[in-house]
Structure 1
Amino acid sequence: MKTMIAALVATVSLSAGVMAQELAFDRARDNTPVLYFSGVQSELAGGATEVLVLGTPHLNGMRDEIPLADLALLLNRLEAFAPDLIAIESAALFNCDIVRRYAEIYEGVANRYCTDPTPALAGLDLDPVAARIALYETLRNLPDTLEPAQRRRLAALFYATDDANSAALQWMHLAPDERVEGDGVNADLVQRLNQRLGSHNETVSIAAVLGERLGHQRLHPMDDRMSQIAYVFSGEALSPTLREMWQQNPVGMGPIRQALAETLGSPEAVLAYYRELNSAALQRGTVDSDFGPAAQNTANDNITRHYLAWWQARGLHMAGNVMSAAAAEPGARILVIVGASHKSYFEAYLDQMHDIELVDLDTVLHD
C-alpha cells in the first residue's frame, strides 16, 4: 500500500507541476543566529521530552472517506507510542475568553472556534473565572482513581472553561449508565456531551479515544485564535488576493490530496494515507504551493504577507503552548495532533528547544 501511494504521489506531482524548483531560502553568513539550538542538549536532567507530530486532515470533512472504524490501525500505532500528553488543535487557555470579550475585533472567531460554555456554567452555578479556578484546583488534587461523580464534575468544569474535548474524554471514561445529570452536569450538557462522543473531529475521534485508552484525564488544547489580530488591518482585499494566488500557482496540492483520498477504504489504507500525508515530499509541496507564494506575492501592496504572518504567529503560539503543557512532566512523551499543513513548521519550531527530541512518525506508523 505504501509503495502504491508513493508511486501515485510521484505521478500526480509531475502532472501538477509539484516537482518544480523548490523555494529558495538565503543563508547569508553574516545574518545567521548567534546560536543554533537544533537538537537536544547533551546533558539533560530527566531525559529529553519526546514529541511526535501527527499531521492530519480535518476529519469532519472526510466522514465518507474515513469512517471511524477505519481509524483502528492508526489508533493502535499511536497507542503503542504511549504518549503521556496529547496536544490538540483546539483553542487554548484564555483564547475563547478574550475573543468573546473583544468580539468587535475578533469578529466571528468565538462562534467559529469556541463552544458555548453556558450550559456547563449554569449546571455548576459558577461564572467563567470561578469555573477556571475550580478546574485548576481540581486538577492539582486529582486522586489516582476517580469516582463517577468526580468525572461528571470534571467534565462540567472542562466544558465550562472552553475545553469540550477534555470534557468528552471524561465522559468516555464513564460507563453509559453513568452519563447522567448531576454533579454540575445538567440535561442540556448531557445531550451535548453524548453528541460529542460521536464526533468525527480528530480532537475526539483520535485524541479523546486514544486518551481514554491510555487513562489520560485531559487533553491539552494548544491552538491560538488570538493570532487573528494579524488580519485586523487587512481589509477586504486579502481573501480575493489569496484566492487568485492559489488559482495561479502551478504547484497545486489539490490534485495530490484528491488522489490520495481516492485510495482510502480500509484501516490499512488510512494508515498508508497518514504516512504519505506526513512525508517530506507532501510537506514540501504544501510550503511551495501556499505559504512560500504568499511570501512572494506583490499584489495589493504585498497583502498576502498578512496571511503568512498570521500562519507563523499562530504556529509559534501553538508550539509555545505545547512547551507549557510539557513543563510539568520533564522527559514525557507528547503526541501533537495538528492539521497537516502545520507539521513542518511545528517540528522546526520545537527543534529549537533545549530538551525536545522529535520522533519520526513514519517509524511509529510502520506497516
Structure 2
Amino acid sequence: MKRKFKCIVFLICLVPFIAKSQSNKTQILILGTPHLQQIDGVEAPMLDKVITKLDSFDFDVICIEKMSGELLYDIQSRQDSAFDGITKGRFGAEFLSLADTVQAINGVAFLEAKKNVLKQVSEEKLTINERKELLFNLLATTDLPSAALQYEYINNKTVFATDFEKYIANIIEKKIASQNEYYSLAASLAKRENINQLESIDNLQDEALLFMYYPDFVQEYKDQDGPLDQINELPVYQKINQLSQEGVQANDLSNLYAFFNSNEYKQQDYSGQWEIWLKTNFPSGADRARYALWEMRNLQITANIMNVVARYPERKILVIIGASHGAFIEKYLEQVEHLEVLKYN
C-alpha cells in the first residue's frame, strides 16, 4: 500500500511536466502573398510594415514557394518533355543552369554541396569567407534565394574578387533588386531573424500533369461559355487591384497583405477561382482534374512543410506563399496533431 501511494505521488508531481511537454507545439503561420513582380510600381520599402509585423512573431524558420534542388533535378532526370515548362521555364531553368555552372567551376557535386550546406547553416557565427563559401554551396543546390540572403550578410563585397565571383555577385544583385517576394520579403525578414537559409517547399507539377492527361484542356476552356470568363470581374479581385494601387501610392502594402490573409479573401477566392471548376462541365472532365491537381499540389506542399516540421520540432515556422494556397494548406495543417496554425491578422 505504501509503495502504491508513492507511485501516485510521483505521477501527480509528473503531471505538470507532461502537460508542459504536450503544450510545446510547433507553430506555423501561412502568409498569403501577392506575386510582387505582378504589381506595377512595387518597391521594397512598401513591405516595411509587413516585415516589422512578421518580425514580432520571432520566427525560427522561413519557407518559400520554390521547388527544392532534389525535386528539380529529379524532374530533369526523367527527360520527359511534359515537364519542360518547369525545367526549361521560369520555375526551374535559371536555378538549374546556375547550379550546374557553380558545380562545374567550383568542382563540387550536388550532394557534396548539400552536405556542406547542412553543416554550415548550423553554425552560430560565420566569417565573411565562410559565408561566401556557403553562398556558392547554396547556388550549387539551386538555392539562389538563400545565396542572396548570404550575400546580404556580407558587408565587404570585395571578397568577390575573381571574374566568376563578380559574375555571380552581379546576378544576385539583380535578383535582390527584382522585387520578388523571395528577396524583398523572405530574405529581408530572415536577415532580421538571423536565419541562414530559406526552406523550399513548393511542388509545381500540377499543370504539367494536367496537360499530359488532358492535352485539349486549353481548347475546352476556350469553348466553354460560362462563369470562367468572368472570374477577373469578381469583387474579390477588383478589391485586390484597388488595394494594390492604393498600396503603391501610399508606399505601404500592409492593407493588401491584411486582405490576402483574411477569411473574407480566403472564402471568396475559393468560391471564385477553385470551387467553380466543380460547377463547369467540360466533356473530358478536365475541369474536375484541374481542381483535383490543385488539391494535389497543395497536399504536396503541405507534405514538404511537414518535412520542415520534422527537422524543426517545437519551433516557429513561417511559410510565405501565393495567397490562393493559404486556405488549402491551413485546412490540412489544422488536422495535424501537435501543430498550432497561427494567424497573421
TM-score, length of structure 1 as denominator length: 0.79
In the alignment, which of 277, 280, 287 is matched to residue 304 of structure 1? 287
- Partner-residue secondary structure (3-state), 1:106: helix
- Partner-residue secondary structure (3-state), 2:31: strand
1:36-185 to 2 correspondence within 5 Å? 44-45=21-22, 47-64=24-41, 66-103=42-79, 104-110=81-87, 111-114=89-92, 115=95, 116=97, 117-139=99-121, 142-178=122-158, 180-181=160-161
Structure 2 vs 1, CA of residues 192 and 73 (structure 1 numbering), >3 Å: closer, same or farther?
same
Contact 2:28–2:319 (CA under 8 A) maintained in structure 1: yes
Residues 132-167 of structure 1: CA deviation (Å, up to 9, x unaligned): 33333444xx43210111111111111111111111
Structure 2 vs 1, CA of residues 235 and 126 (structure 1 numbering), >3 Å: closer, same or farther?
same
Give the distance between the partners of 1:201 and 1:63, measured in 2 at CA: 12
Give the distance between the partners of 1:248 and 1:241, measured in 2 at CA: 16
- Partner-residue secondary structure (3-state), 1:263: helix
In the alignment, which of 132, 157, 171 is matched to residue 192 of structure 1? 171
Higher helix share goes to which structure?
Answer: 2
Give the distance between the partners of 1:190 and 1:45, measured in 2 at CA: 46
Give the distance between the partners of 2:298 and 2:232, measured in 1 at CA: 26
Contact 2:190–2:196 (CA under 8 A) maintained in structure 1: yes
- The offset of 1:350, in angstroms, is 0.8
Query: Counterpart in 2 of 1:29?
Result: none
Contact 1:294–1:304 (CA under 8 A) maintained in structure 2: yes
Does residue 213 (structure 1) correspond to residue 195 (structure 2)? The answer is no
1:325 is matched by which residue type in structure 2?
Answer: V
Does residue 247 (structure 1) correspond to residue 224 (structure 2)? The answer is no
Query: Counterpart in 2 of 1:358?
Result: 341
1:160 is matched by which residue type in structure 2?
Answer: A
Give the distance between the partners of 1:46 and 1:189, measured in 2 at CA: 45
Structure 2 vs 1, CA of residues 136 and 250 (structure 1 numbering), >3 Å: closer, same or farther?
closer
Give the distance between the partners of 1:311 and 1:299, measured in 2 at CA: 17
Residues 318-362 of structure 1: CA deviation (Å, up to 9, x unaligned): 111111112222211111101011111111111111111111211
Query: Counterpart in 2 of 1:313?
Result: 296
Query: Counterpart in 2 of 1:237?
Result: 216
Give 1 or 2 for the bigger CA radius of gyration: 2
Give the distance between the partners of 1:268 and 1:80, measured in 2 at CA: 21
Point out where structure 2 has 5 or more consecutive residues left out of the alignment: 1-18
Query: Counterpart in 1 of 2:263?
Result: 280
Report which stretch shifted further, 84-93 or 44-53.
44-53
Give the distance between the partners of 1:56 and 1:242, measured in 2 at CA: 27
Give the distance between the partners of 1:194 and 1:250, measured in 2 at CA: 34
Residues 35-64 of structure 1: CA deviation (Å, up to 9, x unaligned): xxxxxxx88546011111110100011141
Contact 2:28–2:318 (CA under 8 A) maintained in structure 1: yes
2:301 is matched by which residue type in structure 1?
Answer: M
- Partner-residue secondary structure (3-state), 2:319: strand
TM-score, length of structure 2 as denominator length: 0.84
Structure 2 vs 1, CA of residues 63 and 158 (structure 1 numbering), >3 Å: closer, same or farther?
farther
- Alignment root-mean-square deviation, CA: 2.5
Give the distance between the partners of 1:88 and 1:337, measured in 2 at CA: 5
Contact 1:95–1:226 (CA under 8 A) maintained in structure 2: no
Query: Counterpart in 2 of 1:30?
Result: none
How many matched pairs?
318
Residues 73-119 of structure 1: CA deviation (Å, up to 9, x unaligned): 11111111111000110112512102222242312211321212133
Point out where structure 1 has 5 or more consecutive residues left out of the alignment: 1-41, 363-367
- Partner-residue secondary structure (3-state), 2:283: helix
Contact 2:47–2:252 (CA under 8 A) maintained in structure 1: no
Give the distance between the partners of 2:21 and 2:295, measured in 1 at CA: 29
- The offset of 1:268, in angstroms, is 7.3
Give the distance between the partners of 1:261 and 1:250, measured in 2 at CA: 15
Give the distance between the partners of 1:181 and 1:241, measured in 2 at CA: 55
Structure 2 vs 1, CA of residues 342 and 321 (structure 1 numbering), >3 Å: closer, same or farther?
same
Give the distance between the partners of 2:156 and 2:228, measured in 1 at CA: 47
